């Protein structure tokens, strides 16, 4: 979870694929009922390639803007045999969708709630902005974060230095919140430039809007 434009959908899709390649049976659930324009379904072709199950609204791949929830989303808490990766809408409004499952998620006590941070987005360009987003989301869904994902990027203009310049900021966020940095997301072509310079890199295939078509 993270602010709008943090790249959480790309991160969620690639994380689900990473788990699948490690032999973990994985499904990804699209709970982003706030933003109909960039959805997990945009990565459907790639998810199908790796055999990752996608659970999304039937309206997600259309131009119909309906904040609909799939009944299949209860698999997040009901299906204990499959690892669930959940893509949740930005901010407190999007987090409300996850809140309906909070009691069961907390009771199972076997989850990561990851705060996706992009230091180059206006709303999260400073520590106070990140803390405000974190607190808003936690209050809305009644689940506490337990990790951070660094997805700091400038879109197509991102370089290895762009990512390196984000590390001190993300480490400060980690120190302020007490949350560990789970991984740092990078484009696949930047991996060799950054390998050995940053811990826990996650190379990502970048999903573009409309790639389901």
**Closest by CA position to 113, among listed 180, 184, 171:** 180
Phi, psi (degrees; rounded to nearest 5) at 191: -60, -50
State the CB neighbour count (10 A cutoff) for residue 38.
Answer: 18
Phi-psi region of 91 (alpha: psi -120 to 50; beta: other; left: phi over 0): left
Q: What is the Cα–Cα distance from 168 to 206, expressed in whole angstroms?
A: 24
Fold of the domain built from segment(s) 8-203: Rossmann fold (3.40.50)
Phi, psi (degrees; rounded to nearest 5) at 74: -65, -10
Q: Could you list the beta-strand ranges (E) of the chain.
A: 26-31, 53-55, 83-88, 114-117, 147-150, 181-187, 201-204
Instruction: Tell me the β-bridge partners of 31.
Output: 88
Residue pair 187/20 in contact (Cβ under 8 Å)? The answer is no
Give the pTM. Answer: 0.85
pLDDT by residue, tens only, the chain of 213 residues: 666 667 888 999 999 999 999 999 999 988 876 655 457 888 889 999 999 999 886 655 554 444 555 556 656 666 677 898 988 876 667 788 888 888 988 998 889 999 999 999 988 999 999 999 999 999 989 999 999 999 999 988 999 999 999 999 999 999 999 999 999 999 999 999 999 999 999 999 988 765 444
Q: Distance from first CA to last CA of the chain, Å, rounded? A: 26
Q: What is the Cα–Cα distance from 170 to 180, expressed in whole angstroms?
A: 10
Angle at 132 between CA 131 and CA 138, to 5 degrees: 90
DSSP string, 3-53: STTS-HHHHHHHHHHHHHHTT--EEEEEE--S-SSS-GGGGHHHHHHHT-E
Q: What is the Cα–Cα distance from 147 to 144, expressed in whole angstroms?
A: 9
């Amino acid at each position: 979870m993270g602010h709008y434009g943090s790249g959480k959908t790309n991160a969620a899709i690639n994380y689900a694929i990473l788990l699948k390649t490690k032999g973990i049976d994985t499904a990804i659930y699209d709970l982003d009922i706030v933003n109909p324009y960039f959805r997990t379904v945009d990565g459907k072709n790639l998810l199908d390639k790796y055999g990752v199950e996608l659970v999304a609204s039937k309206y997600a791949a259309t131009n119909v803007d309906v904040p609909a929830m799939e009944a299949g989303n209860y698999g997040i808490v009901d299906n204990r045999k499959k690892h669930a990766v959940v893509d949740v809408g930005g901010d407190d409004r999007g987090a409300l969708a996850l809140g309906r499952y909070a009691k069961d998620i907390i009771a199972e006590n076997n989850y990561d709630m990851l705060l996706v941070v992009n230091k180059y987005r206006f709303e999260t360009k400073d520590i106070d902005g990140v803390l405000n987003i974190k607190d808003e989301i936690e209050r809305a869904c009644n689940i506490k974060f337990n990790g951070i994902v660094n997805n700091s990027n400038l879109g197509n203009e991102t370089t290895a230095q762009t990512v390196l310049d984000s590390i001190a900021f993300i480490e400060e966020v980690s120190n302020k919140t007490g949350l560990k940095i789970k991984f740092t997301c990078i484009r696949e072509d930047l991996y060799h430039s950054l390998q050995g310079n940053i811990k826990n890199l996650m190379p990502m295939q970048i999903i573009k809007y409309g790639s389901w078509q």
